[in-house]
Chains A and B, each alone.
Chain A
Amino acid sequence: MPLSVNIQKKFSSGAKVNIEFATDARFTVLFGRSGAGKTVTLSSIAGLLSPDSGMIRIEDRTYFDSAQGIDLRPQDRRVGFVFQSYALFPHMSVADNIDISRKEAEKWGRPKTAAPRREPVDRDEVIIELGIHDLLNRRPEELSGGQKQRVALARALLRDPDLLLLDEPFSAVDAPVRDRLRGLVKEVCKRHDIPVLLITHQPFEALNLADELVIVESGEVVQQGEPEQVFFHPRTVSIARLVGTKNIFQGRIDSIEEGRVRFTADGEMFEADLPEGGIKLRVGDELTWAIRPENVMILRSDRPVKDAVRENQLAGTIIDISRNGPSWDVIVRTTKGLQLKVQLPRHAGRQLKLEEGGEIRMSLKRDTIHVIPGS
């Protein structure tokens, strides 16, 4: 495992952090709300904060081990850190900013830091890849958010890090630039073979970037895995909410058979496939179920219903439509009072002639209903 983290820290505010995870992914995303312990974790790995106890290792290098009394100074760790604010030195040119690590090392030496694990990152290559060659003589104040971000990344890469830490790196950048930067960051880090740990509170960003996703809640890791797995199969209701799942409902289990569970919710009967790997469900127990708005199928009233969409049929009234450009967000209340969010492409909405107050029929396919034990 390239990175393994196991840290405990108590703060005077009473907040407690107990984070434990290991990852060998190239791009790991630590995802959670602000205050969940993400930044504490990042700062601890960089050595900017000392945990009370635990261990931090990157491959064979131990950065922190309370049992052995090891706590390397940040200067002696080989970690590239891109701050949320970028933290570019305002009184230096872009070139001086990105060269500071190597120049200082040349001048003053760095006896306690282990050698770079890889070939030193090529300065000219990084400058070209990140498109900052025209900016070298400028001051940070003359740069746009996206440019600052690229300079900060170049500076961190030229530290020849064992691991690159990115703290909410895209939060201060405009949306269109953000999408381009995400791709660029991932590509450049992969090319230089530097593992990345990124923290974010934005579900889309986590899903988009992660090879491995670690979810942190109230100072603890609550779920870890491939992003699709975690997003579409959250282990608990609170993780489901955290990853932005809408349409979360309660129900009671009526029967379980042949990989399916039948349950009643708000007077309606439903049937769902049990997740692979199995979960603990018992007849009579409460359960939580969810369906993503884009998975709710709207049935056409003028055509016979195909077998494939016969499952879990519901009728309801449209109470609201938000026409958000290419997609529509529709809220439907069923005859028994269940309120469902439905998302569909604009063309489909227009073709179906959806309107507020209109009656529609829907189908919730068994394999798109996600069930979680408990309430």
Chain B
Amino acid sequence: MSSVDWYPLWLSLRVATVATVFVFIIGLVLAYVLARYEFRGKELLDAIVTLPLVLPPTVLGYYLLVLLGRNGPIGELYESATGSSLVFTWQGAAIAAFVAGLPLLTRSARAAIESIDSDLERAARTLGLREIRIALKITIPLAWRGILAGTVLAYARALGEFGATLMIAGNIPGQTQTMSIAIYDAVQSGDGTLALIMTLVLSGVAVLSLLAVGKFTKGRW
């Protein structure tokens, strides 16, 4: 039995953690805006955020390549700012994981915020609380379970991202080879034991996440 290279696991954890931090911040703002404000293009914004849930990962990967590649608008900006490309880097993988995880948090948090009695926010307004204070002191604490559940789901999704990651970050061992890609690689090269070990690790993380989600949403702490 070959000794297991744990780099893919650490890379996966790093990618998923970075992605989830951004998912949390940006997803929460999106969820709040979608739940509490009426504006033109709201449905379109909702559709764009949700799209990664329904698109094939390869299509998602293709879009990311177009946007983040050398000639893409975001890729060009990033390259002129940092001097390096996003394609074939772990940062690229993190962006793929971010895009895949964002709808999970946004939808869960939005539903949680929408289920709060809007009289509570109205009451807070008459009591003189500024909008930002209402969000921090009333809305987010009350929607906390839904937000946490969405975060865990997004983290699990980011950890397992495969298709889009492969297209944007490639499969460079020791650089961009995440866990799910390493499993694919191990199976392709006939290393069944390695594939099994990594599969079990990823499955374990997924089961734990789902148990955690169940706990948050049922309110048993």
Contact = CB atoms under 8 A, between A and B. Distances in A.
Question: Among the interface residues B122, B126, B130, which one has the most CB atoms of the partner chain A within 10 A?
Answer: B126
Contacts of B130: 75, 108
Contact of B128 (A83, A87, A159): A159
Interface stretch (A97-105, A246-254, A308-316, A355-363): A97-105
A61 to B, nearest CB: 15
B73 interface: no
Question: Among the interface residues B120, B127, B133, B137, which one has the most CB atoms of the partner chain A within 10 A?
Answer: B127
B141 A101 contact: no
A104 B128 CA distance: 8
Nearest to B116: A90
A100 B127 CA distance: 8
Contacts of B133: 104, 108
Interface residues of A, number: 26
Contact of B126 (A74, A85, A89, A108): A74
A79 B122 CA distance: 12
A74 B125 contact: yes
Interface in A92-148: 100-101, 104-105, 108, 110, 113
A372 interface: no
Interface in A52-97: 73-75, 77, 79-81, 83, 85, 87, 89-91
A77 B122 CA distance: 13
A181 B114 CA distance: 33
A342 interface: no
A157 to B, nearest CB: 11
6 contacts: A48-B122, A81-B122, A83-B123, A100-B127, A101-B127, A104-B133
Given A85-B119, A104-B129, 17 more contacts: A47-B126, A77-B126, A81-B126, A85-B117, A87-B122, A87-B123, A90-B120, A90-B142, A91-B142, A100-B124, A100-B129, A104-B127, A104-B128, A105-B128, A108-B133, A110-B128, A113-B128
User: Which 10 residue pairs of A and B lie closest in terms of their CB atoms, listed nearest first?
Assistant: A87-B123, A74-B125, A87-B119, A81-B126, A101-B127, A83-B119, A75-B128, A74-B126, A48-B122, A87-B120
